[in-house]
Amino acid sequence: MLLSVLLLLVGHAKAGYNGAVFTYSTKDVQGKKFSVMHRYKLSYSSYEELELRCTSCSNTEESIGEWCLGEFASKWKNMNCGSYDDGLNTGNWIDNRNSISTSLAQMFVEVRNRSDINKPNSSPQTRVLPVVRVPSNCPRNISLLTFDPDGDEVKCRYASSSLECDTCTPPSVFSLSSSCMLSFSPTGSSSEGPYAVQLMMEDFPREIITLTQNDGSISLRNTSSALSKIPVQFVFKVDPAAPSCTEGEYLPKFLSPTPEHGAQIFIDVNQTLEIPIRAEATQSVITELLFSGPVDVVKNSSGSGHFTLRWTPSGDENDESHPICFVVQANVTSSVYQSVHRCVVVTVGNRPTVTSTTVVAPTIPLTTSNPPPRTSYLTVLKLKISTMLSLKDNHEFILKAIKDELIRRGLHPDIKVHLVHPVQWKLKKQLPPSG
């Protein structure tokens, strides 16, 4: 496809590929015509190699001596409803423990008109740092961002076919759930080193829908049929054991007002966004903030563990959702320690509208001091939830899931969620598989 003429593959250059993430968004819908914005994030060992391999990439961020990250964006105008593949050979992976050499990144683009939203599909929007690190003795759950602008269910799996990977050996040091959670358990020093991670992220409709092409032909999609497929590739590095796995000691710990993972932020074109990021580490020295985001995000530091990301979106980013992912990194002599991996989603020029069947009433702040006035609200929502879980045994987990979804839809991370009694709760019985 398009990128094949933009990449200069250097056959005898040192292997230095660290991964890639491809996404696409549909916009400017006018009847049957629309635009598709393709965004390709590519990472190599150095800025020089990135320049050699991707002549049209804009540099976004780098970790000195380890990796450099760039982005190429292409807007395809006056598109017709259809579907197609977009992939490329990105060179050779860095040396890794699962013996993967040649890389291959492939995206499946579905842009036929959807019956449920009456416009073409957009892929899940996600990002990941090129190198994610964890000490060999520390458990770590890495939750990949799974934001879908169409509200679809997002799932992850290992790349598995010849169109998705050249060598498809998954890393042996962690497990992957369909909800895009990577779980690492402590292991021995014999497992230390870098691993090449090759995942596919897919979006699934939440109900049966039809997809209509320009010629009027219709295809059916159910809830188990993937719409689009995007590659998520990076290096997972198992480092030597840390003296302690407690967050805030050697491993940096995020502090308020750092936004929570998955928070959605709304902003207008030409409006400047500031994302404060705070972290502490009492037994190591915080050295840098590493991030992956739009090419013109600016990073500032105002002291150890005090960072700010600033971004002013232009008209080119309008009507899109842009992930920004980050980690804080610390050092003790030659040892490197990373915080957990966090991401937020910034939606430009497409603020949600609130239609109210909600009951809103002011409440009295419970305070005995005299802080600046603050307004609180009680909002009552009537929700229908389907789950296999028991409310009695999973009360806190269910509340957290509801809160996370409300934050994803734009509410403030400080909201408190309570179930108002009486609650009608019907346990859905699991049916045996058919056939």
- What CATH number did the domain enclosing 283 receive? 2.60.40.10
Average pLDDT over residues 369-391: 51
Asked if the structure places residue 383 within a domain, the reply is yes
CB-CB contact of 263 with 319 (8 Å): no
Q: Is pLDDT of 372 > 80?
A: no
Give yes or no for a contact between 60 and 297, defined as CB atoms under 8 angstroms apart. yes
Across-strand partners of 276? 308
> Which pLDDT belongs to residue 256?
96
Residue 388 and residue 344 in one domain: no
Under 8 Å CB-to-CB from 251, ≥6 apart: which residues? 135, 138, 242, 244, 245, 281, 284, 330, 337, 338, 339
The amino acid at 330: A
Tokens at 189, concatenated? 């020093």
Residue 337 · residue 331 · CB < 8 Å: yes
Which residues are registered as beta bridge partners of 360?
379
> Taking residues 133-152, what's their average pLDDT?
97
Q: Does 43 fall in a domain?
A: no
Residue 106 DSSP one-character state: E
Q: Is the pLDDT reported for residue 133 higher than 70?
A: yes
Is residue 331 located within the same domain as residue 399? no
With beta carbons less than 8 A apart as the criterion, state whether 109 and 228 touch: yes
Dihedral, CA of residue 54, residue 122, residue 145 and residue 100, to nearest 10: -40
Both 283 and 316 in one domain: the answer is yes
**Mean local confidence (pLDDT), 119-142:** 97
Domain assignment of residue 74, yes or no: no
| Domain final residue, candidates 353, 385, 403 | 353
Three-class secondary structure of residue 48 per DSSP? helix
Query: Residue 357: which pLDDT band, with cuts at 50, 70 and 90?
Result: very low
- Tell me the whole-structure pTM to 2 decimals: 0.79
- Non-local (6+) Cβ contacts of 232 within 8 A are 21, 126, 128, 144, 156, 197, 199, 200, 201
Long-range CB contacts for residues 308-312, cutoff 8 Å, separation at least 24: 308/274, 308/275, 308/276, 308/277, 309/274, 309/275, 309/277, 310/272, 310/273, 310/274, 310/275, 311/272, 311/273, 311/275, 311/346, 312/270, 312/271, 312/272, 312/273
Which of 319, 353, 387 is the endpoint of a domain? 353
Say whether both 349 and 385 belong to one domain.
Answer: no
Q: Which domain holds residue 305?
A: 257-353
What's the mean pLDDT when you consider all of the chain? 85
CA dihedral over 88, 89, 94, 99, signed as positive or negative: positive
Residues 261-312: tens digit of each pLDDT: 999 999 999 999 999 999 999 999 999 999 999 999 999 999 889 999 999 9
What string of H, E and C letters represents the secondary structure of 247-274?
A: ECCCECEEECCCCCCCCEEEECCCCCEE
279 and 347 part of one domain: yes
Q: Is residue 216 part of a domain?
A: no
pLDDT of 93 > 60? The answer is yes
Could you tell me which residues are beta bridge partners of residue 125? 147
- Judge if 348 and 283 occupy the same domain: yes
The answer to whether residues 265 and 326 belong to one domain is yes
Model confidence pLDDT, tens digit, residues 158-186: 999 899 999 999 999 999 999 999 999 99
At 200, is the pLDDT very low, low, confident or very high (cuts 50, 70, 90)? very high
In DSSP terms, which residues pair with 85 in a beta bridge?
A: 108
Give the angle subtended at the CA of 307 by the CAs of 304 and 312, to the nearest 5°. 165
Least confident of 138-142, 334-338, 406-410: 406-410
Q: How far apart are CA 397 and CA 403, in angstroms?
A: 10
Give the mean pLDDT of 17-39. 94
Residue 176 lies in a domain: no
Task: Tell me, yes or no, whether 146 lies in a domain.
Answer: no
Residue 121: pLDDT over 70? yes
Residue 269 within a domain: yes
Query: Does residue 349 sit in the same domain as residue 380?
Result: no
Go through 22-49 and write b for each residue having 16 or more CB atoms within 10 A of its CB, e for each that does not. bbbbbbeeeeeebbbbbbbbbbbbbeeb
Residue 107 in any domain: the answer is: no
The total of structural domains in the chain comes to: 2
What pLDDT is stored for residue 410 in this prediction? 64
For residues 267 and 309, membership in a common domain is answered with yes
**Which pairing describes strands 181-184 and 174-176: parallel, antiparallel, or unpaired?**
antiparallel
8 A C-beta contact, residue 90 and residue 20 = yes
Q: Are residues 348 and 287 in the same domain?
A: yes
d(CA 192, CA 203): 33
Q: Burial level of 255, CB count in 10 A (0-12/13-18/19+)? A: middle
| Distance, CA of 121 to chain centre | 18
Please check whether residues 268 and 319 belong to one and the same domain: yes
What are residue 14's phi and psi, to 5 degrees? Answer: -60, 135
413 and 335 in one domain?
A: no
